[in-house]
C-alpha cells in the first residue's frame, strides 16, 4: 500500500520534472540572454525615445550593405534588379558578400568533415576513440592562434611553400585572400561537421542494414536507402551551424583576408566601438534574421525528413587494412589515405606551427623561454595581473559547470521541439537564437543587463562573476546539445515510447530510460560541444569577469599577446593540451554507447 503511494508520488514528481526543467530553462534564457540582448537590439527601433523604422529603411536601401538588392528595397522593379544581379558588374554588398563567403566556407567544411566522419564511424584502428575526442580541438582555439598557425604554415615563407620548393614545385600565394578565409573557416568548422556526423553514423542501427541486405539490396543500395537517410540530417545540422558561425565571423577575416573582405560583423564591431548603437543594432538584427532563417529552413527540412529508428546497435567497424585486393575494398581506403594527407596539411600543420612558435625565440632558435614566462608570471605576477594557473582552473571549472547546466537545458528543449504542435517553429527559433545573435551585441547586452543590472522597486539587481559566466556559457552552449540530440529523438520509433508509457512509466522516466540511451552518442557529442564553447568563449567572460579574478585561458592568451607572440602561443598550447585532455575524458565518461 505505502509502496504504491510512494510510487505514485515519484510518478507525480517525475511527471512534473519535465515541466519544471522547461520553466527553469526559459527563466535562464530570459535572464541571461533575451533581456540583455533586448536592451541593445531595441535601439535599432527606438531612437530618441521614439519608435521608428527609419534606421532599417536606410540600412536595407544602402547598396554598400545590400548591393543590388538595396535597389529592390528602394522600390525598383525586381526585373531590373535580377538583371543587375546576373550582370558582370553586380554588387553583393557587405551582407551579400558575408553570405557568399559563409556558403563557400560551409561547402568546404562539409567536404572536409564528411571523410573524417566516415573514417571515425566506420573503421577501427588504434587510437580511434582518442582521435574522435580530439576532432573538436580546433573549435576552441582563439583566432589569433589560428592566424599565427596559418601565417606560419601557408604564408609566403611558410612550411607549405618550403615543402613545395623542396619538391621543386612553384610556391602558392594563399594568404590574404578569400581562399585563406574559407580554409580557416573549414579549420574551425569541418571538425564540427565531422563530430555531429560521426555521432549520427554511430547511431545507425545495424539491424536495419542487415535486413536490407538480406532482402537483396547491394551495399551501395543499403547505404543509400538505410544509412544515408539517418546520417543526412546530421550533415545538414553541421552545415547549418557552420553557415551561421561563418556568417557571424569576425577577427579571422581581417587577420587572414584583409579589409577588402570585411564581413557584417566587422561593421557591427566598429559601430559599437563608436557607440553608434542604432545602426549596430539594426545590422545585428539583419544578421539575426538571416542566420535564424537558415536555421529554421534546416529545422523544417529535418522535421519532414526523419527516418524512424528503433535502436542503436552500431554497425560493425571495418579494419583499415583491406581484407582482399578488390576494388571495393581498396578504393575507399585509398580515398581515405588521400584525405588524411589533405587533413594533415590543413589541420595538423597549423597546430604544429603554433606549437613550434611557442618554442621559438626572437632569434629563431629553439627555446623554452615562453614557458618559463608562464611559470614566472605564475610565481611573481602581481595580484592584479592574469596568471596561468587560475586561468586553467577557472576554464575547467566554468566549462564543467556550464556543460552540466547545458545538458538538461538542451535535452528538455530537444524533447519539446521534437513534438508536433502549433507554434513549434517559434519555440525552435527562440531556442536557437543564442547561436544567431552577434557575439559583440551579446557582450554589450550582458554588460547592461547583468553587470549593471535592472532597477526594480528601488533595488538594483545585478550579477557578475563566476556564476554569471557559467550561466552565460551554458546559454551559448546548450543549442549544440539540442542540435545533436534532437535529430535522434525525432527519428525514434514512437511505438517504443508509447509502449513504455502504456506500461506506466512517467514521461521523464521514458526520456531517461528509453530515449536518451538510444541517442546517447548525440548526448556525448553535445556535451563535448557545450564544453568546447565554454572553454573558447571570450566576450561574455571578459564582460562578466570585470573586477574579479574570474578570467579564463582565452583571456590569459589575449593578455599575453605582446610585440612577440611567444608567451601567448605558449599559453595557447596549454589551452590546446588542457582542452584536448578534457575532450578525451568527456568521451570516456560518456562511454562508447549505452545502446540496447
Partner 1 sequence: MTADTDATRETDPSARRADRRAERSTRRRFLSLGGTAGVLALAGCSAERTGDGGDGGDDGSDGSADSGGSDGESDSADDDGGDETPTLTVATYSSFIDAPSVSPGEWLKDTFESRVDAELEWVTPDNELNYYIERAASGVSVDADLYVGLTTEDLVRVDDQLDDDLFAERGDVAGFDDVRDGLRFDPFDRAVPFDTGYVSLVYDGTVTEAPETFEGLLADEHGGALIAQNPGGSSTGRSFLLHTIHRFGDGGVASDGGGETVAGTDDDPDYDYLDYWADLQANDVRVLGSWEDAYTAWSNGEAPIVVSYSTDQVFAADAGEDLQQHQIRFLNDQAYATPEGMAVFADADEPELAREFMSFMLEPEVQGEIAQRNVAFPATDTATLPEEYAELAKEPDEPVTFTYDELQGSVSEWIEAWERQYAGN
Stretch that binds partner 1, among 87-95, 127-135, 190-198, 586-594 (CB under 8 A): 87-95
Q: Which is nearer to partner 1, 499 or 546 (CB)?
A: 546
Q: Which is nearer to partner 1, 436 or 446 (CB)?
A: 446
Query: Measured from the CB of residue 349, what is the shortest distance to partner 1 in angstroms?
Result: 15
Nearest to 345 by CA among 540, 63, 153: 153
Gap between the Cα atoms of 137 and 46, Å rounded: 42
| CB neighbour burial string for 108-142, b if at least 16 within 10 angstroms, e if fewer | bbbebbbbbbbbbbbbeeeeeeeebbbbbbbbbbb
Residue 46 sits in the site that holds partner 1 (CB under 8 A): yes
Who contacts 41 (Cβ-Cβ below 8 Å, separation ≥6)? Answer: 281, 284, 285, 288, 441
Q: 47 phi and psi, to 5 degrees?
A: -115, 125
Q: Could you give the string, one character per residue 95-114, with x where binding to partner 1 holds by CB under 8 A and - elsewhere?
A: -xx-----------------
Query: Measured from the CB of residue 273, what is the shortest distance to partner 1 in angstroms?
Result: 7
Query: Measured from the CB of residue 244, what is the shortest distance to partner 1 in angstroms?
Result: 20
Cα atoms in the 13 Å half-sphere on the side-chain side of 440: 23
Gap between the Cα atoms of 538 and 373, Å rounded: 22
Q: Which is nearer to partner 1, 461 or 581 (CB)?
A: 461
Query: Measured from the CB of residue 151, what is the shortest distance to partner 1 in angstroms?
Result: 5
**Which residues within the stretch 363-422 sit at the binding site for partner 1 (CB under 8 A)?**
363, 373, 377, 382, 384-386
Query: Measured from the CB of residue 268, what is the shortest distance to partner 1 in angstroms?
Result: 11
Residue 147 sits in the site that holds partner 1 (CB under 8 A): yes
Stretch that binds partner 1, among 226-234, 405-413, 445-453, 521-529 (CB under 8 A): 445-453
Sole binder of partner 1 in the list 124, 274, 498, 513 (CB under 8 A)? 274
Q: Which is nearer to partner 1, 129 or 273 (CB)?
A: 273
Gap between the Cα atoms of 265 and 271, Å rounded: 10
Who contacts 437 (Cβ-Cβ below 8 Å, separation ≥6)? Answer: 37, 284, 287, 288
Residue 185 sits in the site that holds partner 1 (CB under 8 A): no
Sole binder of partner 1 in the list 43, 205, 265, 287 (CB under 8 A)? 43
Query: Measured from the CB of residue 97, what is the shortest distance to partner 1 in angstroms?
Result: 4
Residue 155 sits in the site that holds partner 1 (CB under 8 A): yes
DSSP 8-class letter at 360: B
Stretch that binds partner 1, among 75-83, 259-267, 315-323, 397-405 (CB under 8 A): 259-267
Q: Which residues on neighbouring strands pair with residue 544, listed in sequence order?
A: none
Query: Measured from the CB of residue 481, what is the shortest distance to partner 1 in angstroms?
Result: 23
Residue 264 sits in the site that holds partner 1 (CB under 8 A): no
Cα-atom radius of gyration of the chain, to the nearest Å? 25
Who contacts 296 (Cβ-Cβ below 8 Å, separation ≥6)? Answer: 425, 428, 429, 432
Query: Measured from the CB of residue 23, what is the shortest distance to partner 1 in angstroms?
Result: 19
Q: 543 phi and psi, to 5 degrees?
A: -65, -45
Sole binder of partner 1 in the list 128, 207, 213, 270 (CB under 8 A)? 270
Could you give the C-alpha distances from 398 to 138, 141, 584, in angstroms and in order? Answer: 19, 17, 18
Helix H or strand E segment including 437:
none
Number of residues near partner 1 (by CB under 8 A): 81
Query: Measured from the CB of residue 348, what is the shortest distance to partner 1 in angstroms?
Result: 19
Sole binder of partner 1 in the list 69, 200, 278, 442 (CB under 8 A)? 278
Count CB atoms within 10 A of the CB of residue 517.
16
Q: Which is nearer to partner 1, 234 or 261 (CB)?
A: 261
Sign of torsion over alpha carbons 542, 544, 546, 547: negative
**Which residues within the stretch 448-507 sit at the binding site for partner 1 (CB under 8 A)?**
448, 452-453, 455, 458-468
Who contacts 336 (Cβ-Cβ below 8 Å, separation ≥6)? Answer: 115, 118, 119, 123, 320
**Which residues within the stretch 215-254 sit at the binding site for partner 1 (CB under 8 A)?**
251, 253-254
Q: Which is nearer to partner 1, 416 or 469 (CB)?
A: 469
**Which residues within the stretch 528-547 sit at the binding site for partner 1 (CB under 8 A)?**
542-543, 546-547
Amino acid at each position: 500500500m505505502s509502496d504504491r503511494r510512494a510510487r505514485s508520488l515519484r510518478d507525480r514528481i517525475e511527471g512534473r520534472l519535465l515541466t519544471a526543467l522547461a520553466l527553469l530553462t526559459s527563466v535562464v534564457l530570459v535572464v541571461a540572454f533575451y533581456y540583455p540582448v533586448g536592451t541593445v537590439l531595441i535601439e535599432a527601433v527606438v531612437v530618441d525615445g521614439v519608435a521608428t523604422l527609419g534606421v532599417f529603411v536606410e540600412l536595407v536601401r544602402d547598396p554598400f550593405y545590400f548591393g543590388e538588392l538595396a535597389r529592390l528595397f528602394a522600390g525598383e522593379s525586381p526585373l531590373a534588379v535580377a538583371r543587375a544581379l546576373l550582370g558582370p558588374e553586380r554588387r553583393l554588398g557587405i551582407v551579400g558578400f558575408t553570405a557568399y563567403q559563409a556558403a563557400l566556407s560551409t561547402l568546404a567544411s562539409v567536404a572536409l568533415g564528411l571523410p573524417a566522419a566516415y573514417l571515425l564511424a566506420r573503421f577501427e584502428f588504434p587510437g580511434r576513440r582518442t582521435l574522435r575526442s580530439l576532432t573538436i580541438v580546433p573549435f576552441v582555439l582563439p583566432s589569433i592562434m589560428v592566424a599565427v598557425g596559418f601565417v606560419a604554415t601557408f604564408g609566403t615563407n611558410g612550411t607549405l611553400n618550403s615543402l613545395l620548393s623542396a619538391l621543386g614545385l612553384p610556391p602558392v600565394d594563399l594568404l590574404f585572400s578569400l581562399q585563406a578565409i574559407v580554409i580557416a573557416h573549414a579549420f574551425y568548422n569541418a571538425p564540427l561537421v565531422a563530430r555531429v556526423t560521426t555521432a549520427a553514423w554511430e547511431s545507425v542501427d545495424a539491424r536495419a542494414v542487415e535486413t536490407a541486405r538480406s532482402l537483396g539490396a547491394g551495399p551501395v543500395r543499403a547505404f543509400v536507402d538505410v544509412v544515408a537517410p539517418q546520417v543526412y540530417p546530421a550533415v545538414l545540422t553541421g552545415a547549418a551551424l557552420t553557415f551561421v558561425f561563418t556568417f557571424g565571423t569576425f577577427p579571422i577575416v581581417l587577420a587572414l583576408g584583409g579589409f577588402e573582405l570585411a564581413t557584417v560583423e566587422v561593421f557591427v564591431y566598429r559601430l559599437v566601438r563608436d557607440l553608434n548603437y542604432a545602426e549596430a543594432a539594426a545590422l545585428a538584427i539583419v544578421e539575426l534574421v538571416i542566420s535564424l532563417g537558415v536555421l529554421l529552413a534546416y529545422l523544417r527540412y529535418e522535421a519532414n525528413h526523419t527516418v524512424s529508428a528503433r535502436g542503436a546497435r552500431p554497425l560493425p567497424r571495418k579494419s583499415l587494412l583491406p581484407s582482399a585486393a578488390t576494388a571495393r575494398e581498396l578504393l575507399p581506403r585509398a580515398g581515405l589515405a588521400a584525405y588524411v594527407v589533405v587533413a594533415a596539411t590543413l589541420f595538423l600543420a597549423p597546430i604544429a606551427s603554433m606549437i613550434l612558435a611557442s618554442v621559438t625565440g626572437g632569434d629563431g632558435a629553439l627555446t623554452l623561454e615562453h614557458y618559463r614566462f608562464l611559470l614566472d608570471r605564475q610565481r611573481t605576477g602581481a595580484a592584479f595581473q592574469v596568471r596561468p594557473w587560475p586561468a586553467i582552473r577557472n576554464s575547467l571549472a566554468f566549462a564543467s559547470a556550464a556543460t552540466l547546466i547545458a545538458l538538461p537545458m538542451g535535452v528538455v528543449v530537444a524533447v519539446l521541439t521534437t513534438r508536433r504542435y502549433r507554434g513549434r517553429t517559434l519555440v525552435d527559433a527562440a531556442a536557437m537564437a543564442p547561436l544567431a545573435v552577434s557575439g559583440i551585441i551579446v557582450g554589450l547586452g550582458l554588460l547592461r543587463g547583468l553587470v549593471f543590472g535592472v532597477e526594480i522597486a528601488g533595488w538594483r539587481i545585478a550579477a557578475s562573476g563566476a556564476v554569471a559566466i557559467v550561466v552565460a556559457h551554458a546559454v551559448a552552449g546548450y543549442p549544440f546539445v539540442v542540435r545533436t540530440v534532437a535529430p535522434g529523438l525525432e527519428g525514434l520509433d514512437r511505438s517504443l515510447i508509447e509502449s513504455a508509457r502504456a506500461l506506466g512509466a512517467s514521461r521523464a522516466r521514458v526520456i531517461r530510460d528509453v530515449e536518451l540511451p538510444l541517442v546517447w552518442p548525440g548526448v556525448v557529442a553535445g556535451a563535448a560541444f557545450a564544453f568546447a564553447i565554454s572553454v573558447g568563449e571570450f566576450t561574455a567572460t571578459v564582460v562578466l569577469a570585470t573586477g574579479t579574478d574570474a578570467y579564463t585561458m582565452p583571456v590569459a592568451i589575449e593578455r599575453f599577446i605582446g610585440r612577440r607572440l611567444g608567451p601567448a602561443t605558449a599559453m595557447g598550447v596549454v589551452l590546446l593540451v588542457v582542452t584536448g585532455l578534457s575532450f578525451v575524458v568527456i568521451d570516456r565518461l560518456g562511454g562508447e554507447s549505452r545502446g540496447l
